[in-house]
Structure 1
Amino acid sequence: MEANILTAVFLPLALVIIMLGMGLSLTPAHFRAIFVAPRPILVGLALQLVALPSLAWLLAWALQMPPALAVGLVLIAACPGGATSNLISHLARADAALSITLTALSSLVIIFSLPFVVNAASLFFMEAGQNVSLSVPKTILQIVVVTVIPVSIGMWLRSKSPERADRAERSVKVLSALFLALVIAGILVGERDNLLRFFMLVGVATLLLNLGSMLLGYVGGRLARLPVAQVRTVVIEVGIQNGTMAIAVATAPTLLNNSSMAIPAAIYSLIMFVSGAVLIAMGNRNTWTVAETP
């Protein structure tokens, strides 16, 4: 998977638009929720930021993946949920407010956690002299630019005019979805000759990671005795990752600059749309079996 203008320019731009749209839907109350009702938020963050990267690490080691692909698998697991998880939560009749809060908080935490997790994976899986590393200050700065700043601008706009923010949010969501679809379509067309090879390389690992992540969310939610809507949200947030961010980090010349590390994120993104559609169908058919608890 070669870096090109789509991955170097338009992919980060799509991420900025997506994060701006998220900011337009956020208020300070979403962040205060962690103090008012911390249990579902802490469960979701622990699963997403600790359990999921650990699962990816274990799968990469157990399947003896090539070093760059192993690091790429850990990379997609270390990224937060994205706007896609918020949309799926809404369509699956999950707790949309919890979804937005988890996405926003995890997006803030990974500013600091992602470079350390990826660098540790690189040291573990890659041979001496071949390992790559993320510059912590540079990574933090670039993630701040494409996530925190757009979210902050969106929140500021909402604070000034909630009505206009609501209208703008709908437009930005449509724009970001179309823009991201065009970018992904462009990448798929450009890599059409390699897609089968990519699936052969990482298909099993990414499928197991996606299914395993959702199982983690389900079991974790049940053990925490969360209400059914919140269990749905945790399953979605842990299983639906920000593939846009992972590909951008892997291919950016100033970050990892390793196109092979983007392959797991690209394939995972395709798989998670399928599993997301299944979760939406389950939510609308009320096939979840979690008992409602206060």
Structure 2
Amino acid sequence: MGSTIFAVFLPIALALVMFGLGLTLTVGDFARVLRYPRAAVIALVCQMVLLPAVCFGLVLLFRLEGALAVGMLLLAASPGGPSANLFSHLAGGNVALNITLTAINSVLAVFTMPVVVALAFSRFLDDSESIGLRPDKFAQVFAIVLIPVAIGMWVHARYTAWSDRMRGNVKILSIVVLALVVTAAVAKNFDTLTENIGKLASICLLFAVISLTVGYFAPRLFRVDADQAIASAMEIGIHNGAIAIAVAASVLHSDAMAVPGAVYGVLMNIPAAIAAYLLARYVRQDRREPVPVAG
């Protein structure tokens, strides 16, 4: 009975979260990438290519096996989380770029997530029945991730005044729902969690720190402005654990694969908050620096 309730409630909960995301998006948010082409391309390459590779290395380093290894890579393939915008705002980042990256990442993840998970299945489970690019699994990921976003965008465009009034309430409700999803996933898989808590806590914290670091310094190496690099750091460093949990439980039908997403959903707030504090201090100090006057 508990499994049935979890399986039914989880997609509904994630749909609410993604609907709330859709209420914040417009078609212009996708087009805005043309205003920040360098920052967007660097962030997307890091998100889609570099971080899954980093996560794979960490999984091997910590000797994570089976469903937990697949769940960790599923998390790495997930797009940025809803709280990325909040942390970016606190750190002085370019929130408009965050919104753009979230929009594009959410679309691309529908195509990249099945590929990453298929490779993870073949490496860690040797299972021919992986998600791969099977049409039914692809359709489920599409329905979980994109359809609620599209509905939210339509509502925002059609009923803009109502959307503007409700956006704050939906965001608060989404945060509560996310917390409930993570709590439910932890409670449902408590034995698996306690048996692997050391490895999972270590790998999730280290992955979050590396993601935030890469997200900031990779754009800066290519002379991207600091506020855009901060937006990139938060978008890359804060993965959507709710999507990872929902895909694991509802699409892949594996409760164990949901555990890494649940652990990350709790622990990632620590390095994200520290990074936001340090970056905000850096931005304030940088703005106070006197501009050299040519003699």
Q: Does TM, normalized by the shorter one, top 0.5?
A: yes
- Please, which runs of 5 or more residues in structure 1 have no aligned partner? none
Residue number in structure 1 paired with 2:267: 271
Deviation at 1:98, TM superposition (A): 0.8
Deviation at 1:16, TM superposition (A): 0.9
Q: Deviations over 1:192-229 (max 9, x none)?
A: 56544332232222222111111211221211211111
Q: Does 1:25 align with 2:21?
A: no
Asked if 1:285 is matched to 2:285, the reply is: no
Does structure 2 retain, via aligned residues, the 8 Å contact 1:214–1:238? yes
Check 1:289–1:132 CA distance in 2 against 1; reply closer, same or farther (3 A cut): farther
Task: Report runs of 4+ in structure 1 exceeding 4 Å deviation.
Answer: 189-195, 287-292
**Does 2:179 correspond to 1:174?**
no
Shift of 1:185: 3.1
The residue number in structure 2 matching 1:39 is: 38
Q: SS at the partner of 1:81?
A: coil
Code of the aligned partner of 2:84: S
Q: Identity over the aligned pairs, expressed in percent?
A: 36
With 160-169 and 51-60 compared, the bigger mean Cα shift is at: 160-169
Q: Which residue matches 1:198? A: 196
Match in the other structure for 2:293: none
Instruction: Indicate which of 144, 147, 150 corresponds to 1:146.
Output: 144
Could you tell me the TM-score, scaled by structure 2's length? 0.88
Return the alpha-carbon distance in structure 2 between the equivalents of residues 66 and 289 of structure 1: 45
Structure 1 length as normaliser, TM-score?
A: 0.88
Following the alignment from structure 2 to structure 1, what is the Cα–Cα distance between the partners of residues 262 and 236?
17
After superposition, residues 180-259 of structure 1 pair within 5 angstroms as 180-191=178-189, 195-252=193-250, 255-259=251-255
Question: Alignment RMSD, CA only?
Answer: 2.5
Question: Is the CA contact 1:21–1:151 (under 8 Å) kept in the aligned structure 2?
Answer: yes
Deviations for 1:94-146, whole angstroms, at most 9, x for unmatched residues?
1111111111111101111111111112112234xx56511532232122222
> Is 1:261 aligned to residue 257 of structure 2?
yes
Q: Provide the secondary structure at the position in 1 that maps to 2:268.
A: helix
For structure 2, list consecutive stretches of 5 or more residues without a partner in the other structure.
290-295
Larger radius of gyration: 2
